[in-house]
Amino acid sequence: MKRSTCVLEEHKYGKESLMTRTPTLILAAVLLLLICGFHGQPVAASDVTRFFFSGDGQINLFGKKSGESFIGQYRQGQAYDPQAMAAINRVFGAPNIQGQNELSLRLIEFLDLLQDRLNPGGRITITSGYRSPTYNTSLRDQGKLAAKASLHQYGMAADLIMEGVPAKRVWEYVKALGFGGTGYYHGQTVHIDVGPARSWDEKTSGVGTGISEDNKLIGIVTDFDRYRAGEAITLRFTRMTAFPIGVTPQFNLIRRSHKGKSEPTVIRFVPSFAVATEGECPRFFDIDQMAHIRWKIPSDLNPGRYAIRTRFCEHRWNAMPRDITTPEFEINRP
């Protein structure tokens, strides 16, 4: 069953036309308002997914390289099925060690959304899913179109074929959404990722131009878009191309104003890294060391939109930014 939406506009019930509908439609609209609230926002927290862009929790996937497939439900409400996620990791060829998924949930939700909107139930064939840094480098050595800072290495990207939907249409649809990255090479496949919003083709990809050299594109992301106060948040750095990297151990939580501008920092905190760190400028030497960075959100934090900013304490490369900030995320009451 498809997850219902609480956006009245999608049902095309305008204020002027509502009263001209039949009593049945009027009653349905009233019930929708009672369930969703009079501002179009869901009331029940369990009905809200963890991501701003998400599907119905069901997906149809096949891995061309892995030979694995998954058809069915991977999420119920906000709860992800560990067995389903392990199967989806196998489709993408991503590691699944002791229940730790290397595949981004944000990517799966985004592919689910695209499938729901462009061809509900249609199969998505993954032609290139997760790539280890070693494998990604080998592709570059062979002259393949593989970016040095490729998000495939972080489980955040896929090259795919969507059954019944031309690659160009998928490309154009993602561009219009203004979310994530998409590349179209005038073939059957299209690249989709959950990095910054951008688009390219084989002539404008920037591969081989040094666009990502010296950590120019380094970023940091959260594991979800929506949290409850008191929950743990997991961070990871992305698109690194040069090591070692020195990171100031104190991070800043910044609250966003209603106009999208930053307000004064509300919390300074020291997260827990997956590897032991010491000193005022701990160094990291590979992608895995800069993942699974955890911090528990204070239970009394005010609801709102936030972002996390971190600074680098070594400046080996002039092109590397001095600090970076996550995309905005939402914190709600426990």
Dihedral sign computed on CA atoms, order 107, 108, 109, 114: positive
Nearest to 160 by CA among 134, 122, 133: 122
Nearest to 132 by CA among 108, 100, 154, 159: 154
**pLDDT for 24:** 43
**pLDDT for 98:** 53
How do the domains of the chain map onto residue ranges?
8-43, 58-201, 213-332
**pLDDT for 101:** 60
Write down the architecture of domain 58-201 according to CATH: 2-Layer Sandwich (3.30)
β 323-325/251-256 pair status: unpaired
Separation between Cα atoms, residue 247 and residue 114, nearest integer Å? 36
Q: What is the pLDDT of residues 291-329, one digit of tens each?
A: 999 999 999 999 999 999 999 998 899 999 999 999 999
Under CATH, domain 213-332 is a member of which superfamily?
A: Macroglobulin (MG2) domain (2.60.40.1930)
What are the residue ranges of helices labelled H in the chain?
15-18, 23-36, 82-92, 105-118, 133-141, 167-177
Residues 6+ apart with CB under 8 A from 248: 280, 281, 310, 311, 312, 313
Q: 225 is written with which tokens?
A: 């878009």
- Tell me which residues of the chain have a pLDDT lower than 50: 1-45, 99
